[in-house]
Amino acid sequence: MVATEDRRGWQHVSPDGEKTLIVELGAGGKFAFNETDFEYATDAITRRDELKQQFSDLKDRVHRWLLEHADVIERAYIGAGSDGLTVVIIRRDQQFDVDFELAVSRFDLDLANLGYLNLPNVNLLSLPCSSPEAVHAFINPMLVWMKS
């Protein structure tokens, strides 16, 4: 026996106790999900929304940090690769700056301690002053420019 429960645009069907959700689209199209698949789909949507919020928060934190160190930073990039998110910071000077590298390390620890469980690894990389061509030969071209 099949029990159904009609709702606006979708229908719950329970053949032999197994629940199936049928979603009706316009022009007669339909999708059917079993209960487990539907739960996975709604969980994925929730995780996507959390990830988008966390990434937005991360970009805001990185941007504020870059502004605090604008006297040392020429430009920066952020993007995603196979090993997680990468923030590439290009310094104005070609000389090693101990204080700045310590600030980068502290910021890296601060980001790690935020507990962004849904974000992949966040890697910070500081490079000396370099031409855009040299930097683009070294980093993933999909990285997004953030500041100049």
**Predicted local confidence at residue 91, as pLDDT:** 94
Give the Cα separation of 96 and 100 in Å (integer).
Answer: 9
117 pLDDT band, cuts 50/70/90, is: low
Give the Cα separation of 63 and 133 in Å (integer).
Answer: 23
Return the CATH class of domain 54-147: alpha beta
Q: What percent of the chain has pLDDT over 70?
A: 58
Output the six-digit token pair for 51: 């990830």
Rounded to two decimals, the pTM is: 0.65
Distances, alpha carbon 111 to alpha carbons 59, 70, 71, in Å: 11, 19, 22
77-103 pLDDT, tens digit per residue, is 887 777 778 888 999 999 999 999 999
2 pLDDT band, cuts 50/70/90, is: very low
Q: Which of 33-42, 47-56, 61-70, 135-144 is modeled with the greatest confidence?
A: 61-70
Amino acid occupying residue 143: L
Q: Which of 4-13, 75-84, 126-135 has the lowest mean pLDDT?
A: 4-13
**Predicted local confidence at residue 54, as pLDDT:** 81
Q: For the chain, what are the domain ranges?
A: 2-39, 54-147
Q: Which tops the pLDDT comparison, 125 or 3? A: 125
SS3 state of residue 85: strand
42-69 pLDDT, tens digit per residue, is 766 777 788 788 888 888 999 999 999 9
Whether residue 23 is predicted with pLDDT greater than 90 in this model: the reply is no
Q: What is the 3-state secondary structure (H, E, C) of 16-73?
A: CCCCEEEEECHHHCEEEEEHHHHHHHHHHHHHHHHHHHHHHHHHHHHHHHHHHCCCCE
